[in-house]
């Protein structure tokens, strides 16, 4: 079972998300939180696979909570719940270790699939949306010099995987493009995260952009 935390300061939103997710046979909502402090405490004291965090919450907001959860419960994948008009928060959330983003009006089936993907370490956004977010919010403020230093130890094959990861492709899609097995791609990504100090594949995608890998051919 995929154990999920739902954190939102609106009780009706929490109830709605719970009802949707519990229609899935492999998902269980094991905790709810009305603010960031409660969310962090729940992840610290319980085994939670995926934490759905509203960005805007009283006290400790979702981004600050994501940072604490990444430190106190690194096994938990954090997915931010966002609304239109909150794009300025996306970069901060990426840097805080969020594994992805969902719009609050995401359809029921897409919400369930996103949680399943997050739990398996896959992106929770369609490639087109991932590219839009990264292009809009990361490129403008990238530190290319630092990023290049962080990827110095990567092999040529790992750089190729990182470049495609930066476009928002899934493991299966990367494997198809590079004529590799899915297991080999997964192993490459694990080594990429270790060698670059990234905590998840979204941060690795940001790094790929910062390093200019997406302009390579």
Mean pLDDT of the chain: 86
For CATH 3.40.50.2300, the residue range(s) in the chain are 2-125, 137-215
Residue, of 69 and 84, whose pLDDT is higher: 69
The β-bridge partners of 54 are 81
The verdict on domain 2-125 having CATH code 3.40.50.300 is: no
Residue, of 46 and 123, whose pLDDT is higher: 46
Which pLDDT tens digit goes with each residue over 146-170?
Answer: 999 999 999 999 999 999 998 878 8
Query: 88-97, 101-110, 177-186: which has the highest mean pLDDT?
Result: 177-186
Which pLDDT tens digit goes with each residue over 10-52?
Answer: 999 999 999 999 999 999 999 999 999 999 999 999 999 999 9
- In this structure, the dihedral spanned by the alpha carbons of residues 193, 197, 199 and 200, taken in order and rounded to 10 degrees, is -40
Q: pLDDT tier at 134 (50, 70, 90 boundaries)?
A: low
pLDDT value of residue 85:
47
100-103/50-54 β-pairing:
unpaired
Q: Which CATH number fits domain 137-215: 3.40.190.10, 3.30.2400.10, 3.40.50.2300, 3.90.190.10?
A: 3.40.50.2300
Q: Among 165, 157, 152, which residue's Cα sits nearest to residue 195?
A: 152
């Amino acid at each position: 079972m995929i154990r999920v935390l739902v954190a939102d300061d609106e009780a009706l939103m929490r109830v709605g998300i719970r009802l949707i997710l519990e229609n899935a046979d492999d998902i269980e909502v094991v905790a709810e939180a009305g603010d960031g402090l409660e969310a962090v405490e729940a992840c610290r004291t319980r085994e939670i696979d995926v934490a759905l965090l509203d960005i805007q919450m009283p006290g400790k907001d979702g981004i600050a909570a994501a940072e604490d959860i990444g430190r106190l419960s690194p096994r938990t994948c954090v997915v931010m719940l966002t609304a239109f008009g909150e794009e300025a928060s996306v970069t901060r959330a990426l840097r805080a270790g969020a594994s992805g983003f969902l719009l609050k009006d995401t359809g029921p089936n897409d919400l369930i699939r996103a949680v399943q993907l997050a739990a398996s370490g896959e992106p929770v956004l369609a490639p087109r949306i991932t590219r839009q977010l990264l292009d809009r919010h990361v490129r403008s403020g990238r530190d290319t010099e630092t990023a290049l230093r962080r990827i110095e130890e990567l092999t040529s094959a790992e750089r190729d995987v990182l470049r495609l990861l930066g476009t928002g492709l899934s493991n299966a899609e990367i494997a198809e493009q590079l004529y590799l097995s899915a297991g080999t791609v997964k192993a490459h990504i694990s080594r990429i995260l270790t060698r670059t100090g990234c905590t998840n594949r979204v941060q690795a995608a940001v790094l790929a952009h910062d390093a200019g890998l997406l302009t390579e051919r």
